[in-house]
Amino acid sequence: MIQKDLLRKIPKMDEILNDDKLRFLMEEQGRKTVVDAVREVLDEIRSEIFALAPEETEAFQSKLTSAAAAIRAVLKVEEKGKPHLRPVINATGTILHTNLGRAPLARAAAENVARLLPGYSNLEYDVPKGKRGSRHDILQETMMEMTGAEDVMIVNNNASATLLVLSSMAAGKEVIVSRGELVEIGGSFRIPDIMEQGGAKLREVGTTNKTKISDYENAINENTGALMKVHTSNYKVMGFTQEATLEELVELGRKHDLPVIFDMGNGLMVDLSPYGLDEPNVPASLETGIDVILFSGDKLLGGPQAGMIAGKREYIEKMKKHPLARALRVDKMTFAAMEATLMLYRDEVLAKKEIPVLRMITEEKDSLTMRAEALAERIREANPALKVRLIDADDQIGGGSAPMFYLPGKALALSSDEISTAELEKRLRRSEPPVVGRIHEDELLLAIRTIREEEYEDVVRAVGAAKDSE
Ligand SMILES: *Cc1c(COP(=O)(O)O)cnc(C)c1O
């Protein structure tokens, strides 16, 4: 049989579209989607025929049925119907994994988004008064209750918050910052650059390792607009070091009638020092009497991507009216997720249980061990050929927070005599949903801390399917 004969035997479009499976699919997904998929399948079949070796042509005939083409079209429509953004199982042990979307949301936050989004809402409508309201009021009460802040504003992320704060509080003025705190957060977000974007002039004081409160005081002049402290969230200067405390800065600001700004970064809302995590938290920072603090919504706060600005009303009022406010404002999805997350902080025990980031940070060793054993047991059953060990492995906060802080964790260490660890890693990563672990000394580590119990089944299925052949 020659290729020309095969080409003639390719089923026709109409014939394929008559297949029951496709007729059903058309009702679900629309005619165009299905016709396009069939056309792609027909193109593929043609290319396959041209690529055949002479001795393969005979066998290929059996593939040229309209039923076979229809099945291929169904798979194609299914593949194309999958969103590109999809769930991934984080088995890395890094809690705020930037590549994997930073903070997973609390169930209450996800439910609030799902509840609000299909319909309309009072985003900017004052229901009792029957007139226009402000989206800025939505989080006010809850934030005030949680943190004691007079006023609050939410923008797209903490980078936006920094830009807005500097633009509205210090444009054309000098902002005094310690040389030890000229942070690069990542990408092109660097404090000196953002300062320039905000129209403020950076006035560096002190040295990399030591900055005293007197350094700030000596730099104050008639053109000073604000004093600013930046939390060095992603690095630590160790050894012979000194920095001015928030309390000292607040006192100095009062003395010279200058506002004090704190870019806190991580957004921690509770004290986690009993867990060894020595990071500033929002309520304690505000208690110093600081004028404005800003922080991320999706780092240690555990909410959606956002930048939170909290503090004195006189400054935040101005930010709300600034032209940038409109450019940086967030959608109702963010409000819905943030409000529900903040509400969980009314009770610290509840927050640690319900907010995934806090739950993961505070999970006890015993619980990790128990969960790791349970998952290992199921994995051994699903794939008896695999070697599964339980090991101690350090987990991390991630997301550029607390770089020197390690959480003693538990991991499943997998290896196989049949396939390489690299191949095992690849197969798990390419399963649906992808399971992302890390290779350490020729074993694939799955850290239990970042795997939810609801995900065990998917992990077990992925590992079960990662057997020798293929
Ligand atoms: C993370 C961080 C930022 C940037 O926050 P995003 O929400 O990622 O934009 C700014 N400042 C500090 C100190 C940070 O830690």
The predicted pLDDT at position 348 comes to 95
Q: What residues are paired with 261 via a beta bridge?
A: 228, 292
- Low-confidence residues of the chain, pLDDT below 50? none
159 lines ligand 1 (CB under 6 A): yes
Contacts of 166 (CB under 8 A, 6+ apart): 175, 194, 195, 197, 198, 199, 200, 261
The predicted pLDDT at position 59 comes to 87
The predicted pLDDT at position 403 comes to 83
The predicted pLDDT at position 469 comes to 61
CA of 373 to the centre of ligand 1 (A): 37
The predicted pLDDT at position 420 comes to 95
Give the Cα separation of 242 and 212 in Å (integer). Answer: 7
- pLDDT tens per residue across span 67-88: 999 999 999 999 888 899 999 9
Atom 8 of ligand 1, residue of closest alpha carbon: 158
Give the Cα separation of 280 and 272 in Å (integer). Answer: 9
CA of 232 to the centre of ligand 1 (A): 10
**What six digits make up the tokens of 349?**
């025990």
CA of 238 to the centre of ligand 1 (A): 22
233 lines ligand 1 (CB under 6 A): yes
For 364-367, the CB contacts below 8 A with 24+ separation are 365/408, 365/410
Please state the atom number of ligand 1 nearest to the C-alpha of residue 399: 1
* Residue among 252, 276, 303, 260 nearest 104 (CA): 303
For every residue of 401-422, DSSP letters joined together read EEEEEEEEEEEEEEEESSS-HH
Grouping H, G, I as helix, E, B as strand and the rest as coil, residue 253 is helix
158 lines ligand 1 (CB under 6 A): yes
Give the Cα separation of 227 and 151 in Å (integer). Answer: 20
**Dihedral angle over CA of 193, 196, 198, 202, nearest 10:** 100
Contact (Cβ atoms closer than 8 angstroms) between residue 340 and residue 372: no
* Residue among 401, 176, 195, 190 nearest 300 (CA): 401
* Residue among 354, 234, 368, 244 nearest 303 (CA): 354
The predicted pLDDT at position 399 comes to 83
- pLDDT tens per residue across span 35-51: 999 999 999 999 999 99
Atom 12 of ligand 1, residue of closest alpha carbon: 265
CA of 144 to the centre of ligand 1 (A): 22
Host H or E run for residue 294: strand 292-296
pTM equals 0.91
Mutate to test the pocket of ligand 1, among 166, 184, 185 (most ligand atoms within 8 A of CB): 185
Atom 6 of ligand 1, residue of closest alpha carbon: 158
The predicted pLDDT at position 468 comes to 66
Atom 5 of ligand 1, residue of closest alpha carbon: 158
Atom 11 of ligand 1, residue of closest alpha carbon: 265
